[in-house]
Structure 1
Amino acid sequence: MRAVVIRSFGGPEVLKVEEVPVPRAGAGQVRIRVEAAGVNPVDVAVRTGALVEGGLSERREVHGLGWDVAGSVEEIGAGVTGFAPGDRVIALSDRLDLSLGAYAEQIVLDADAVAPAPAHATSVQAATLPLNALTADQAIDFVGLAEGQTLLVTGAAGAVGGYAVELAVARGLRVVAVAGAGDEDLVRGFGAEFFVSRGAELGSAVRGLVPGGVHGAIDAAAIGTAALTAVRNGGSFAAVRGGAAPVALRGTRVANVWIRADGARLAELAKLADDGRLTFRVAGTFPLDQAAAAHERLAEGGLRGRLVLLT
């Protein structure tokens, strides 16, 4: 089968399509025929060696890429229940020690990382859900707000930020969205009650809308300290990019939220998408053998949604 791997760190040119053996599902695992795989910023961090330099991954001869999976079950291992060959599924590959990722024609994952795919979505659409929606959902869990409290979401027009707005609203939170001026209608359509244009003096702008500051923040745009100024004393702040968590000033509770696979919760998110409460946004598609071109497009910026590789 074909898979995209890297044998040295660098620019998009280091992404190579190679023929590799088909992996087999072990006990408690599922082998998935990948139809679509999301292209995410973390894939760039793998490609450039940033994760190795940051001590998050060990250097190996071969590194695989890709976290988001949408496809169908090919094989189930011993002890797996709830899935059968042919089932349409989505999944998150969250381990950094593997030589194969989702940029491949097939992948083996632990069954508890897998969920039924949204019934009314294409594989391309479904591939944008696992990493981004789970990141947003787990960040909301961390900030730990009660219904009616206020949440700041930076990068609200992006893939993680957009899901964060919709999921927060679904939990009864009042959302202050930060995005480019041209994205106000978009993020208000996600349910944001308040809007602040990117580039504004964030602390003053947010506190003008929410006296005393918001109860919590999800910093999907990696703004850092400037976003923390909008959070009231004793509030909570979730950074979703590595190294983007600011110092926890004024008694705030601050942390990087490190994504983890959670098939059970992913199944619930898929149902929310089927109910129209989560919005899929596909920025474009590329065939697997053009993964380098997809990374080049990602580097250009300005995307609203995720690029997806097709196998």
Structure 2
Amino acid sequence: MRAVGLLRYGGPEVLRVVELPTPHAGPGEVRIRVRAAAVNPADTLIRAGMTPVRLRDGDPVLPGQDIAGTIDEVGFGVSGALAPGGPVMAMINPTRAAGGGYAEWVVLPETWVVPAPAGASPAEAATLPLNGLTALHALDQLRLAPGSTLAVTGAAGAVGGYAVQLAKTAGHRVLADAASGDVELVAALGADVTVARGPGVADRFREHAPDGVDAAVDAALLGSALLPAVRDGGTVALLRGGPDPVLRAQADQRRIHMVSAYVHEYDGRRDKLDLLRRLAEEGALTLRVAGRFPPEEAARAHQLLEAGGVRGRLIIEF
């Protein structure tokens, strides 16, 4: 089978199409004929050697954590909910021995796989698992009381956009930041208030929440710059690791709680991924495809993502 991988760490140029043995489903597993794999920031970190995903004895490393396609093989004991020919989507943990999802076929435990949203193309479905589960895990960690006020940074991005929509679905008031060219997009996602992103954003949030927001999802990784927007005793969800000592000390001074959204805590959580499917089918979540590339142009997709300004997800199509 064809896959996109790397034999050394580096820039986008290290990505190449490789030939690998086609896997087969074992007991409790399904094989997915991948039609679309999303390109995420985490994939660029894998490519650069900045994650626990390590090169192994000359075998290529495969990035990719979001896939969509069709079931084409099922192992012994798989329930009838997943049958050959059914359109599906899944999130992958690329630290597994078989690597990530940039491949024509992927084998996963059946509990990691759910039907794709009805009516969604494979490219659209592939934008949802990793980023949707990240946003959902962040909100689950915040444990917001009904009707809370939430600030979301990076709201035009994939995780931030899903955080806005999930929070609105849960009945919260959402303040979000946006660049001038993204104001209409963020408003369409459901934000109650949109403020200009950039220096001083915490003050602009405070103009609309004078006592401070109850919580924040920091998808833009602002760190300390966001804390003044949060009320004493509030909560901030961090999306890339835990707080550094300086941020922790600043938060502790005002009894602000810091929680880390680690998406792979939801590995194999069919219930969580199926919730996202249902919300997408209901129109509560918007599936945004920013561009499509053949495997031979995976490097170009990585270049565009790292250049910034991508709205939605770039997709490698097999």
1:77 to 75, 78, 92: 75
Question: In 1, Cα distance between the equivalents of 2:110 and 2:64?
Answer: 18
* 2:290 paired with 1:255: no
Distance 1:98 1:227, change over 3 A: farther
Aligned-partner SS, 1:63: coil
Report how far residue 67 of structure 1 moved: 0.5
1:281 to 285, 288, 309: 288
Question: In 1, Cα distance between the equivalents of 2:256 and 2:55?
Answer: 36
In the alignment, structure 2 segments of 5+ residues that lack a partner are: none
Question: In 2, Cα distance between the equivalents of 1:48 and 1:203?
Answer: 32
1:7 is matched with which residue?
A: 7
Structure 1 length as normaliser, TM-score?
0.95
- For the 8 Å contact 1:2–1:17, the answer to whether it is kept is yes
1:168 is matched with which residue?
A: 167
Q: How many corresponding residue pairs?
A: 307
- CA deviation map 1:118-141 (0-9, x unaligned): 111111111101111111111110
Report how far residue 208 of structure 1 moved: 1.6
- CA deviation map 1:227-284 (0-9, x unaligned): 1221111111111123666423321211321102322221221121111111111110
Aligned-partner SS, 1:26: coil
Aligned-partner SS, 2:298: helix
Query: Aligned-residue CA RMSD in angstroms?
Result: 1.5
Counterpart mapping for 1:41-190 below 5 A: 41-51=41-51, 56-61=52-57, 62-81=60-79, 82-190=81-189
- The amino acid that maps onto 1:78 is F
Report how far residue 201 of structure 1 moved: 0.9
- For the 8 Å contact 1:3–1:100, the answer to whether it is kept is no
- The amino acid that maps onto 2:208 is L
Question: In 2, Cα distance between the equivalents of 1:229 and 1:2?
Answer: 49
Report how far residue 27 of structure 1 moved: 2.0
1:269 is matched with which residue?
A: 276
- For the 8 Å contact 1:100–1:107, the answer to whether it is kept is no
Structure 2 length as normaliser, TM-score?
0.93
Aligned-partner SS, 2:263: coil
- The amino acid that maps onto 1:253 is H
Question: In 1, Cα distance between the equivalents of 2:95 and 2:195?
Answer: 36
Report how far residue 289 of structure 1 moved: 1.8
Question: In 2, Cα distance between the equivalents of 1:99 and 1:31?
Answer: 13
- The amino acid that maps onto 2:13 is E
- CA deviation map 1:162-198 (0-9, x unaligned): 1110010000010010121221221111111111111
1:300 is matched with which residue?
A: 307
Report how far residue 78 of structure 1 moved: 2.1
- The amino acid that maps onto 1:4 is V
Distance 1:68 1:201, change over 3 A: same
Question: In 2, Cα distance between the equivalents of 1:7 and 1:267?
Answer: 35
- The amino acid that maps onto 2:25 is A
In the alignment, structure 1 segments of 5+ residues that lack a partner are: none
Q: Which region of structure 1 is more displaced relative to structure 2, 184-193 or 167-176?
A: 184-193
Report how far residue 87 of structure 1 moved: 0.8
Question: In 1, Cα distance between the equivalents of 2:10 and 2:270?
Answer: 33
- For the 8 Å contact 2:93–2:100, the answer to whether it is kept is no
- For the 8 Å contact 2:53–2:94, the answer to whether it is kept is no
- For the 8 Å contact 1:80–1:111, the answer to whether it is kept is yes
Question: In 1, Cα distance between the equivalents of 2:83 and 2:317?
Answer: 23
* 2:308 paired with 1:290: no
Question: In 2, Cα distance between the equivalents of 1:43 and 1:117?
Answer: 22
* 2:214 paired with 1:207: no
Aligned-partner SS, 1:169: helix
Report how far residue 220 of structure 1 moved: 0.7
Question: In 2, Cα distance between the equivalents of 1:57 and 1:253?
Answer: 30
- The amino acid that maps onto 1:131 is L
